[in-house]
Structure 1
Amino acid sequence: MMPLPMHERPPTNNHRHYVRPALGLPAVVRLQGQELGALVTDISLKGALLKLDTPLPQPCALNTALHLDLLSDPERILLLSLNAEVRHASSHWLGVSWPTIDLDNLTTLRQLLIANVADDQQIDRELSELFSTAQQAPTE
């Protein structure tokens, strides 16, 4: 089997804290005045890895704001609508995270994760840890 060209390979990161099941769901990314089609290759309670349908039209800096709509497949019904930030970017790949998430999106994300992970208790443990960390964060 031939290795994938560089733009077809996701960035590697083995330091992830949250379970990130493989997904393969379509998404729409609104970034820097552009609307880009994408595929959500994996997702967690805090972020996702997106494979863009086309290369980024311009370089993208760390923490650049974007909006992510995650869609069902094949119906393309809106599942999640999140404000997010760029964590890393290359030609065809975006790593994103959401600093905050509303309860409706969090509930849907939890259901999506449980449906794609064999261990639903792991998701609940991560969710409890996420809430615990948020409560310990200093307020300004």
Structure 2
Amino acid sequence: MSISVGDKIPSGKLQVMGENGPTPVSTDELFSGKKVVLFAVPGAFTPGCSMTHLPGYVVNADKILASGVDTIACLSVNDAFVMDAWGKAQNAEHIMMLADGNGDFTKALDLELDGRGFGMGLRSQRYAMIVENGTITTLNVEPGAGVDVSAAETIMEAL
């Protein structure tokens, strides 16, 4: 059963690109005592993710942060090198680009997507959530293709 509103974010490790390479980030550290908007994409550099999903958060980052959000984070089942390059290519300087390289966090949320039919292996479903002090207060999982319920504009309405 996938995670739902009211649940605590599971403890785990993700990665970001640091000064000396990939750097672990604990989910406890990321979410404890903070209000975080986390959105996940099936893959960095893929069309919907690069043309619509991430750009919506890039354009609206200042408004989202001004509404009391401490961190905006983008997660994908990609490595930290790919997430860093994608963030730079998309001018995502106000967004934490989180790598879930092995998909462990995605599996813990039970929000994995079987992308083998597209040659992509295990990926994350497209979703967005608001997490307050480690507890999910809003969770919008896309029911199919496209970017609608997980779009920045939709999440902004929930803030």
Higher alpha-carbon Rg: 1
TM-score, scaled relative to structure 2: 0.22
Higher RCO (CA-CA < 8 Å; seq separation 6+): 2
Q: Determine which structure has the larger helix proportion and give its number.
A: 2
Q: TM-score, normalising length from structure 1?
A: 0.24
Higher strand share: 1
